[in-house]
Structure 1
Amino acid sequence: MRYTLRQLEVFLACAHHENVSRAAESLNMSQSAASAALKEFEQQFELRLFERTGKRLRINELGRQLWPRAEELLERAQELEQTLATHRELGSLKIGATLTIGNYLAASVMARYMEEQPGTQVQLEVANTAAIAERVLNFELDLGLIEGEINHPDLEMIPWRRDELVVFCAPSHPLAERKRLADQDLINATWISRESGSGTRQTFDRAMSGLLPHLHILLELQHTEAIKRAVETGLGISCLSRVSLADALKRGSLVELQVPQRDLRREFYFALHRQKYRSAGIKRWLELCRQA
């Protein structure tokens, strides 16, 4: 074999960081050793994988074609090493989840996964749909659990479970006693919403088609708990996943508002890179999510 796994590690680190120094630092090696490994890798096959602009490396088309294959090969090698070293079938995972899923669903799945394999590491990153999708595309996450719909040729979107958004307000709000809200009520209301780029906002915008230009959105917040607190204080009404509102609705600290003329249904998805190697750990995580 003319190349080494170390050379692949250097290539992938350079692709991620676009800089040899940062790539070397991430691999705990010297800059000169990383540069030499990348240079030797390219020279062995008489090819160029990056365009050099000062200290910055820009991966070219050939490098982009090689990237997912190198990721898959290295992951298989790491999985084999982990199995040989620990005699475990499942490995460590880097999971990305959107805020609703990360805050209200992912923790229980993570607990079951780690209970099955004591000592296994699971990193959970919580961000909005756009950020999670980007990190999956860059192979920085093994898979994403997202609320929004993403159309990208390199992403495989697998339906997971159904969800719906709920329009809600504080018990003291003037709309709390209404049995049903008309579109004019939605236009007249003051809204507290999620930020653009979130799956919840995507579903909300779609559901409010035709009304959006007329809605008064007072605040855009990134966190569901902050939105719930703002609504509880009477700042306005909002629209979030029923999953995130279950306890508050049961306690009566928030009140559901009926908007039957607006379709607030949606899907939760698994987002995986099409070239991502489906390790035993990834497959088991998907199974546990479906069972949850």
Structure 2
Amino acid sequence: MKFSLRQLEIFVAVSRTGSVSKAAQAVFLSQSAASTALAEFEKQYNVQLFDRVGKSLRINQAGQQLLPHAVELLDRAQEIHNLMEGHAGYGLMKIGATLTIGNYLATLLVAEFLHEHDDSRIELQVHNTKTIIEQIANHELDLGLIEGGCHHPDIEVETWIADELVVFCAPQHPLATKKKVTMQQLLAEPWILREKGSGTRETFDRAFHNYHSQLNIRLELEHTEAVKRTVESGLGIGCISRLALKDAFRRGSLVPVNTPALDLGRYFYFLWHKQKYQTTGMREFLALCKSITADVSRSDEVNLTRIIKE
């Protein structure tokens, strides 16, 4: 074979960063060495893998066809390396989680995984659903844990566990003492919501699909905790996952609003690229996630205190 694993590593790094200089930093080479290796790789096969756009490189169709095969080969090579070195862990895994999962489940699951496999490394990124899907599609992440829908043709989706959004307010809010709240009462209130592109907002918009024009959206925020703090201050009512509100409801700093007219159910999902080689580490992490949620029917029923072993 004409190519080396190092050339593939540089090609993948450039495809992810769009820059030779950033790719060089990622693979611990000088910019000139990385540029030379990429140029030789393309020259060996008389193929151009990137379109040069100003100072950036944009992967073209030939590069897109190569990318999943290069990522898979590098993953397999890393497993061989770990095996031959006698490593007990699984090397580096890049996992992306949406905000609700990332803040309330994923960090504990990652800690538990590393507790069991202390020679492994995990890079956890927390973004909204739209961003996680894009990163999986571009082979920037090994696994995704999301709370919104995904219909990307190149991504495998597996249902994980049920979740439920809940409308909530501050304890001093007039709706806090209502046994049941109607749609008209909800439409009369100012709302504090997650941003568009988030799985939480997607579920909320679906529940209010016939009433969008009547909603009074006062503020949109990118973080679940910011939504909770703002609602606590009395600026409006909100709607996020019951999992994220579990402690606040227990303390009484926020209270649920009974909304029988709304369907706020959804699921959490696992994502990976269809052409992605599932490493042993990925399979072990998925198995851990499933085992933690095996005995519950909804995300807020997970006993978080049991995840981390003493």
Fold shared per TM-score above 0.5 = yes
The residue correspondences of 1:103-142 to structure 2 (distance < 5 A) are 103-142=103-142
- Which ranges in structure 2 are unaligned for 5 or more consecutive residues? 293-310
Partners of 2:89 and 2:120 within 8 A in 1: no
Which residue in 1 is equivalent to 2:281?
Answer: 281
Which residue in 2 is equivalent to 1:230?
Answer: 230
Aligned alpha-carbon RMSD (Å): 1.4
d(CA) in 2 for partners of 1:280, 1:207: 39
Residue aligned with 2:272, SS: strand
Which residue in 1 is equivalent to 2:88?
Answer: 88
Which residue in 2 is equivalent to 1:43?
Answer: 43
The residue correspondences of 1:10-29 to structure 2 (distance < 5 A) are 10-29=10-29
d(CA) in 2 for partners of 1:202, 1:121: 32
Which residue in 1 is equivalent to 2:249?
Answer: 249
CA-CA distance at 1:146 after TM superposition = 0.5
Moved more, 127-136 or 15-24: 15-24
CA-CA distance at 1:23 after TM superposition = 2.1
- Runs of 4 or more, structure 1, over 3 Å off, are none
Partners of 1:91 and 1:280 within 8 A in 2: no
CA-CA distance at 1:181 after TM superposition = 1.2
d(CA) in 2 for partners of 1:54, 1:182: 56
Moved more, 84-93 or 170-179: 84-93
CA-CA distance at 1:240 after TM superposition = 0.8
Residue aligned with 1:157, SS: strand
The residue correspondences of 1:1-292 to structure 2 (distance < 5 A) are 1-88=1-88, 90-292=90-292
d(CA) in 1 for partners of 2:240, 2:288: 25
d(CA) in 1 for partners of 2:90, 2:64: 29
Q: Number of residues paired by the alignment?
A: 292
d(CA) in 1 for partners of 2:53, 2:107: 43
Partners of 1:144 and 1:271 within 8 A in 2: yes
**Distance of aligned partners of 1:70 and 1:89 in 2 relative to their CA distance in 1, 3 Å threshold:** same
Whichever residue aligns with residue 56 of structure 1, its letter is S
CA-CA distance at 1:89 after TM superposition = 5.1
- Which ranges in structure 1 are unaligned for 5 or more consecutive residues? none
> What does the per-residue CA deviation read over 1:139-178, in whole Å, with 9 as the maximum and x for residues that have no partner?
2211111000021111111100000000111111011111
> What does the per-residue CA deviation read over 1:222-248, in whole Å, with 9 as the maximum and x for residues that have no partner?
111221111112111111101011111
Residue aligned with 1:164, SS: strand
CA-CA distance at 1:20 after TM superposition = 2.2
Identical aligned residues as a percent: 53
TM-score, normalised via structure 1 length: 0.95
Residue aligned with 2:57, SS: strand
Partners of 1:8 and 1:74 within 8 A in 2: yes
Partners of 1:83 and 1:89 within 8 A in 2: no
d(CA) in 2 for partners of 1:53, 1:83: 41
Residue aligned with 2:240, SS: strand
